[in-house]
Structure 1
Amino acid sequence: MPVPPRDAHCIRVASYNVRALKDDRSALVEVIRSIAPDVLLLQEVPRHPVSGHRIATFADELGLTWFGGKRFRMSTTLMTSLRVDVLDAHHGRLPVRRFDEPRGYGMATVRLPGHRPLVAASAHLSLRGADRLPEAKALLAAAGTPTPPMVVGGDLNEEPSGRTWRHFARELREVSADTPTYSAQDPHKRIDGIFASAQLLGVTPELETSATKLAAATDHLPVVVDLDLSALQG
């Protein structure tokens, strides 16, 4: 199905935990292509040392660009559409306890033509509650000081009442819809979200996505927001 033209000041940002591509691959590709994100923030992509070719192939299937690079055995990354320019991109580590699963972020400075750049970051925070806030602070610090225009999305492993979720909402602003994101088969918990700088207004788009395909694609639901970058013109 052709993607309708997007407003000249709008980019679509989606965050999605894809569970290492272990579920229905064709359903997952169909869901993401129907969303047609300009920035796709991913969690739980394959993370073993030689899995880069699998992620690159996945990006090709989606019609998106993946910047690659060293990932430090982490499962977090991001992809972009040709509507945005990628000025810089990298993966970074987040603090974890010894012997814990590596945690980190994918971060890119992107620019919609005719607009100033913004930083986009994908995060997948710890299952251990005490560790999530330090991870969130480290992620925001990695963007620089003062914090540039920014959008952060990911699997927080925490609901909106949690202190880490509230920290993101204070430092940025919650722009994703107030709807459950887990599990895709039985949505009852909201643990995935998108946050953006105050000057970036967000609207949840109306999407035609099949509930059956969503349930087959992975165990999370995608979170999607259209960001108005009018404040970054120039």
Structure 2
Amino acid sequence: MAITPLPNSRTDPDGSTVIRVLSYNIRSLRDDEDAVARVIRACEPDLVFIQEAPRFFRWRKHAARLAAKTDLVVLTGGATATGPLLLCSLRASAERTEDVLLPHTPGLHRRGFATAVVRIGEARIGLLSCHLSLQADERYAQAGMLLDRLKALDAPYAIAAGDLNDRPTGRSFRRLAAELQDCWAVAPWGDEYTSTPENPHQRIDAIFATKGIEVLGCGVPSHLPGLTRSDLLAATDHLPVLAALRVPAP
């Protein structure tokens, strides 16, 4: 069965702005960096919410190289956010950025958020890339911190995306979906499951949007020009999530 094409980026006559948003766990580029770049390019995103960006030796160089390979620019994040990273196209202009470290639980990996406020066309949008804890109680607390931080961005509309390490039935996922639009649930498009590429069986990566943003479609891309299954398998241990969103005019 043919899949309806996802809308392209544009500004509509009423002043609303259509953007393409991608969320992708790239496993520190430990697999096939060129395949990661080809996947991102095929999705033609305006905004990319990365998880597990390189965090150690020359991490800024790795992030800049990925941005260059995908015709994007680094917005914020990376090691300073313990892995979450934001990339954007030249369509976006940055108003402000901030990398946030979350409280650290001894013995567990420290987590953080990469956040920004950008303008695309007439739209002003808050952004947050996240990678939540593997530990259930810590993950639930981080979901609450995510909601608080999104509100603190003080933007008319906001998007949060990332690797939740939780399924839609989980406490943390449900905590986010209670206050934000789970874009896949609102307008499913493409495939659902994001883990693992060899055997997709669970949705643990998601894109969320505040109310007022219209979700035109969201899911795992698998039928885009230039996107191959071999690249999806070689790139990393997650599948990407792509959404088209319409942000109303101010």
Q: Would the TM-score normalized by the shorter structure come out above 0.5? A: yes
Q: Which residue of 2 aligns with 1:119?
A: 126
Identify unmatched segments of 5+ residues in structure 1.
none
Following the alignment from structure 1 to structure 2, what is the Cα–Cα distance between the partners of residues 218 and 31? 11
Name the count of aligned residue pairs: 228
Following the alignment from structure 2 to structure 1, what is the Cα–Cα distance between the partners of residues 137 and 30? 29
Following the alignment from structure 1 to structure 2, what is the Cα–Cα distance between the partners of residues 134 and 151? 19
Alpha-carbon distance, 1:146 to partner: 8.8
Identify unmatched segments of 5+ residues in structure 2.
1-6, 12-16
Q: Which residue of 2 aligns with 1:17?
A: 25
SS in 1 for 2:181: coil
Q: Which residue of 1 aligns with 2:96?
A: 88
Instruction: Return the TM-score normalized by structure 1.
Output: 0.90
Alpha carbons 1:173, 1:195 under 8 Å: kept: yes
Alpha carbons 1:52, 1:68 under 8 Å: kept: no
RMSD: 2.0
Q: Does residue 199 of the first structure (1) align with residue 212 of the second (2)?
A: yes
Greater shift after overlay, 88-97 or 121-130? 88-97
Alpha-carbon distance, 1:81 to partner: 0.4
Alpha carbons 1:179, 1:190 under 8 Å: kept: yes
Change (3 A) 1:190 1:75: same
Alpha carbons 2:78, 2:84 under 8 Å: kept: no
Alpha carbons 1:94, 1:104 under 8 Å: kept: yes
Q: Specify which structure has the higher proportion of strand.
A: 2
Amino acid at match of 1:185: E
- Runs of 4 or more, structure 1, over 4 Å off, are none
Alpha-carbon distance, 1:162 to partner: 0.5
Alpha-carbon distance, 1:180 to partner: 0.5
Post-superposition CA distance 1:91-114 (Å, at most 9, x none) = 111223023211011111011122
Change (3 A) 1:88 1:12: same
Change (3 A) 1:73 1:81: closer
Post-superposition CA distance 1:126-185 (Å, at most 9, x none) = 111111111111122123359641111000001000011111111111113471000011
Following the alignment from structure 2 to structure 1, what is the Cα–Cα distance between the partners of residues 26 and 79? 17
Q: Which residue of 2 aligns with 1:6?
A: 9
Change (3 A) 1:153 1:114: same
